[in-house]
């Protein structure tokens, strides 16, 4: 449960606020712990336990109470402030339980200075405050997360653009000054400033950050373009059709914001346990008071019994039970290439029954590659060498894929002369004294080249698998063909298989065509796929599955995935994806490996198991200590003194700490 902080604990829900609170609790922990040393050293209980006699001098009897007052005011005050919101909400939790314990310990210990009793809780008071500050510092560090998704989206838009005036001159203006109907010049490599229509020029535009489509999209006069996308080689003149809040990117930003706001708040297990213990402590204290007053009348012994019950009802261990597991779990996750931005998402991951992957850049590499080769009278390596040589001067995405494939095989590319791009059909060049052509069926038809039945069949099979077939032509006939497609990651198959073994349904989202989606789904044995999905529909597809009472995680890497990432019960971003996807997610997979999703689920199971075990040890201590502190065993001569209660409390803390550390031995 999140706690409201006053004064120096304000703006708690912001990324800056989390960092501020982390530093504040860290500072208070170290200063309070330092100030606790004199209290512990001069404490009668500690000196008696360790067998030493602290020095006495004028004022030495004031060291323990004075330092305890300072620690209570400095380190304990934040808990009292945070308890105020729990009190106002009528939802007692950890803060009210801590506040009850430290307030009772403080008031009684101050009264004990003048009451006829030798017991006081000063050393218990300061150690309780110290450990609770430590637990809260660990907690703040583990939950701190940035909330910059909307800022990252906004940064896709350029600040300035080149507007074309009526006289044909070009001037640089702020994008915010653009109006509908304005014409702008978009040079190669520049971002398109707003939604519009191409009025002049031809080029490819990279829309993957918006649509998820891996291939750059060819644009010519009459085609629509989206603000925030990136122009490739050619220059475009674009007429603006939408600006500001009306653009597609602004629509996505709005959905991200709505999805973030729609996330429900989950209360931590420790808060629930603390709420129960608060009422148990009050009830036990009341019963203790009544029982002892009936037995011996009202005296100092009754007060001591009640105070002992109320103080030890707040075990140190409960304050560390969850934060320690979270901290160790977060560290283990990081070592396995998993960054946890939201601890609640890590806890909720164990409940997932559906994992939805974005295809491009997640299950696939998000780039075109040669996935198969067929030859007719030529060796594969020679064919690929010649293909790459012809394409050596081309900037087309297919040429880049062929060259990359040749590099992966360590093939040496030959020099090419007289390179020529045949518009819309292919390219040609002279390699080692012969003219070679590279292109598709249109090139063969226009040039009258022959294609054998063998290579024709290869092209048909490639089309069925959503691949693009490209031929190498020599002496008027095709001698080789390659199938190009978005390359599937090797890890994707194993990841999906392991998810199925866990009984988890696997779904896939993509902006690609039905044919491409079907081919990938069939190849990876995916249960459900959604093709040709627009950004706003990705968000809706997640909602559709959630409406079927499914617990859904979304795994993606593009801006178009951001709304779906935030809408999902758990948003998982591929670390090499765009910054906005990372900022919108609860979990980040640094290694860009789908198998890490399985590791995430294993870690979630492990941490939840350890949390339950730690809560058992922390609260089990109370089941044992509270009745003894209340005096149920007094008739047989057993009474739990405040000092012994403190020792038992410390033992439960040690057990919780060791149990949390044992997590590190588990493999994920």
Which tokens belong to 185?
Answer: 């010049």
Closest C-alpha to 356, from 532, 561, 580? 561
**CA distance linking residue 150 with residue 155, whole number of Å:** 9
From 519, 525, 527, 597, select the one nearest 557 (Cα to Cα): 597
d(CA 548, CA 181): 45
Cβ contacts of residue 572 below 8 Å, gap of 6+? 553, 554, 555, 556, 565, 585, 586, 587, 588, 589, 597, 600
What stretches of 491-641 adopt beta strand conformation (E)?
505-509, 528-530, 552-556, 570-574, 587-589
Q: What tokens does 496 get?
A: 């999906």
3-state secondary structure 567-598: HCCEEEEECCCCHHHHHHCCEEECCCCCHHHH
Question: In angstroms, rounded to a whole number, what is the distance separating the alpha carbons of residues 650 and 644?
Answer: 10
**Cβ contacts of 279 within 8 Å, gap of 6 or more:** 92
Handedness of CA 185, 188, 191, 192 (dihedral sign): positive
CA–chain centroid gap for 295, Å, is: 58
Q: Nearest-CA neighbor of 444 among 468, 474, 419?
A: 474
For residue 174, the number of C-alpha atoms closer than 13 Å in the C-beta half-sphere is 3
Q: Vertex 168, ends 162 and 174: CA angle to 5°?
A: 20
The sign one gets for the Cα dihedral 108, 111, 116, 117 is positive
> What is the end-to-end Cα distance of the chain in Å, rounded?
28
Cα–Cα distance, 587 to 648 (Å, whole number)? 38
The contacts of residue 519 (CB under 8 Å, 6+ apart) are 464, 465, 466, 467, 485
Active site residue 167: no
* Cβ partners under 8 Å of residue 654, min gap 6: none
Which spans in 349-452 are helix H? 380-390, 397-408, 441-447
Residue 235: name the closest of 203, 273, 276, 194 by CA.
203
Instruction: Return the closest-CA partner of residue 325 out of 651, 656, 19.
Output: 656
Report how far residue 238's alpha carbon sits from residue 222's, in angstroms, rounded to the nearest whole number.
Answer: 10
- What sign results for the dihedral spanned by CA atoms 287, 293, 298, 302? negative
- 211-214-216-220 Cα dihedral, nearest 10 degrees: -50
Among candidate residues 130, 195, 358, 486, the one labeled active-site is: 358
CB 416, CB 436: distance < 8 Å: no
Backbone angles phi, psi at 12, to 5 degrees: -65, -30
Residue 572 CA to residue 565 CA, distance in Å, equals 7
Task: For residue 645, give both structure tokens.
Answer: 């209660």
Active site residues: 358
């Amino acid at each position: 449960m999140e706690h409201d902080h006053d004064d120096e604990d304000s703006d708690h829900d912001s990324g800056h606020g989390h960092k501020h609170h982390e530093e504040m609790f860290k500072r208070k922990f170290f200063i309070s712990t330092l100030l606790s040393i004199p209290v512990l050293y001069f404490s009668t209980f500690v000196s008696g336990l360790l067998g030493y006699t602290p020095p006495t001098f004028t004022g030495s009897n004031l060291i323990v109470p004075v330092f305890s007052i300072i620690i209570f005011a400095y380190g304990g005050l934040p808990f009292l402030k945070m308890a105020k919101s729990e009190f106002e909400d009528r939802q007692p939790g950890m803060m009210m339980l801590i506040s009850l314990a430290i307030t009772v310990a403080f008031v009684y210990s101050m009264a004990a200075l003048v009451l006829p009793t030798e017991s006081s809780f000063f050393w218990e008071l300061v150690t309780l405050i110290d450990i609770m500050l430590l637990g809260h510092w660990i907690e703040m560090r583990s939950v701190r997360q940035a909330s910059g998704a909307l800022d990252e989206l906004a940064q896709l838009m350029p600040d300035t653009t080149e507007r074309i005036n009526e006289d044909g001159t070009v001037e640089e203006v702020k994008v915010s000054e653009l109006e509908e109907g304005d014409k702008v010049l978009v040079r190669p490599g520049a971002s398109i400033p707003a939604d519009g229509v191409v009025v002049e020029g031809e080029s490819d535009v990279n829309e993957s950050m918006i649509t998820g489509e891996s291939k750059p999209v060819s644009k010519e006069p009459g085609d629509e373009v989206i603000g925030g996308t990136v122009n490739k080689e050619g220059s475009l003149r674009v007429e603006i059709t939408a600006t500001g809040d009306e653009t597609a990117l602004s629509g996505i930003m709005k959905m991200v914001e709505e999805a973030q706001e729609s996330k429900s708040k989950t209360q931590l297990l420790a808060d629930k346990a603390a709420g129960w213990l608060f009422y148990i402590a009050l009830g036990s204290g009341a019963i203790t008071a009544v029982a002892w007053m009936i037995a011996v009348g009202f005296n100092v012994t009754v007060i001591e019994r009640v105070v002992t019950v109320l103080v030890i009802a707040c075990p140190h261990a409960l304050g560390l039970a969850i934060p320690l597991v979270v901290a160790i779990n977060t560290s283990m996750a990081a070592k396995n290439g998993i960054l946890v931005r939201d601890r609640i998402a890590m806890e909720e991951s164990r409940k997932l029954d559906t994992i939805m992957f974005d295809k491009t850049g997640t299950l696939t590499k998000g780039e075109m590659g040669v996935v198969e080769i067929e030859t007719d009278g030529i060796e594969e390596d020679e064919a690929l060498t010649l293909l790459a040589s012809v394409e050596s001067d081309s900037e087309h995405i297919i040429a880049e894929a062929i060259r990359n494939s040749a590099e992966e095989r360590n093939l040496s590319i030959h020099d090419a002369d007289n390179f020529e791009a045949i518009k819309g059909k292919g390219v040609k060049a002279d390699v080692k004294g012969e003219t070679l052509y590279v292109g598709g069926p249109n090139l063969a038809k226009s040039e009258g080249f022959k294609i054998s039945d063998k290579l024709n069949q290869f092209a048909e099979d490639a089309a069925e698998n959503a691949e693009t077939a490209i031929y190498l032509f020599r002496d008027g006939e095709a001698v080789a063909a390659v199938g190009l497609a978005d390359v599937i990651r090797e890890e994707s198959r194993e990841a999906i298989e392991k998810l199925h073994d866990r009984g988890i349904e696997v779904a896939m989202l993509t902006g690609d065509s039905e044919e491409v989606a079907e081919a990938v789904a069939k190849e990876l044995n995916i249960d459900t796929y959604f093709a040709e999905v627009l950004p706003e529909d990705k968000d809706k597809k997640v909602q559709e599955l959630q409406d079927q009472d499914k617990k859904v995680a979304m795994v993606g890497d593009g801006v178009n995935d951001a709304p779906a990432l935030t809408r999902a019960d758990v948003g998982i971003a591929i670390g090499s994806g765009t910054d906005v996807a990372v900022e919108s997610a609860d979990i980040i997979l640094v290694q860009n490996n789908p198998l890490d999703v399985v590791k995430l689920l294993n870690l979630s199971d492990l941490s939840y198991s350890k949390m339950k075990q730690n809560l058992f040890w922390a609260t089990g201590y109370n089941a044992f200590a509270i009745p003894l502190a209340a005096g149920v065993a007094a008739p047989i001569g057993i009474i739990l003194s405040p000092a012994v209660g403190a020792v038992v409390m410390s033992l439960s803390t040690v057990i919780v700490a060791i149990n949390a550390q044992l997590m590190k031995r588990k493999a994920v």
